Amino acid sequence: MNRWFYYVRVSTKGKQKTDRQIYSTELQDFCKRNGINNKDIIVMEEKETGKHFERPQYQLLKQVAANGDNILVSAIDRFGRNYIQGRKEFAELINKGVKVYVLNRPMLEDMYKLNDNMSKFMINFLVDWELMNAEEELKRIKERQEQGIKVAKAQSKHLGRPKAKYPDGWDDYYTEWKAGRRTAKFTMDILGLKNTTFYKLAKLYETQK
């Protein structure tokens, strides 16, 4: 069919945006080299992890891509970060007659044009190498995150939501209020708390007891 798809993926975590991939100079350069009007490229984007391939947009792309079609990714880690699964997915697309281009690896363009046994071997070798690096990078990211958590815990830093701060005398006044010896309004006034804050702290205090 000779259609061009551009698969754009960013992780669900962090503040990454797809704009950097969609409007990249590498994409513009690729279009110029291959005589493609970028308006003819079908962009499919999503915010999903690269650890697996059970992603809605990728699965849709895999279904609609047919013999003669082409898929672009800005880098192989946007395709996926799972080496074993990534090899399988890539092989399935190639066997369907779909070419996968990696914008930051322009040598693939020449290899596809040669279309001989050596070029096919080099394409598989390059993709294997890139997928291994992508998976290793994901492992390093996870290791750094785990190390950061360990360091933070060692330094007694609280991760996540900040701990609730109770005003001075909370225990005594809370006990008096719960026992019915003080009204809620009196307790709020004496502690200097607003209605919503008082009941929020009371609920939290009860769950921690």
Write out pLDDT tens, residues 28-82: 999 999 999 989 999 999 999 888 899 999 999 999 999 999 999 999 889 988 8
In tens, the pLDDT along 114-173 reads 888 888 888 888 888 888 887 887 778 777 777 777 777 776 665 565 666 888 888 888
Give yes or no for residue 14 having a pLDDT over 60: no
pLDDT number for residue 15: 62
Sign of CA dihedral 91, 95, 101, 107: positive
Residue type, 65: A
pLDDT number for residue 124: 86
Say if residues 130 and 122 touch (Cβ distance below 8 Å): no
> Would you kindly state where each structural domain of the chain is located, as residue ranges?
4-147, 170-208
**SS3 readout for 35-61:** CCCHHHEEEEEEECCCCCCCCHHHHHH
Say if residues 105 and 122 touch (Cβ distance below 8 Å): no
109 CB-near residues (< 8 Å, 6+ apart) = 30, 33, 34, 101
Torsional class of 43: left (φ above 0), alpha (ψ -120 to 50), beta (otherwise): beta
Q: How many CA atoms lie within 13 A of 38 on its CB side?
A: 12
Torsional class of 147: left (φ above 0), alpha (ψ -120 to 50), beta (otherwise): alpha
pLDDT number for residue 174: 86
pLDDT number for residue 28: 94
Q: Choose between 160 and 85: higher pLDDT.
A: 85
pLDDT number for residue 172: 83
pLDDT number for residue 9: 92
Architecture of domain 4-147: 3-Layer(aba) Sandwich (3.40)
Say if residues 6 and 22 touch (Cβ distance below 8 Å): yes
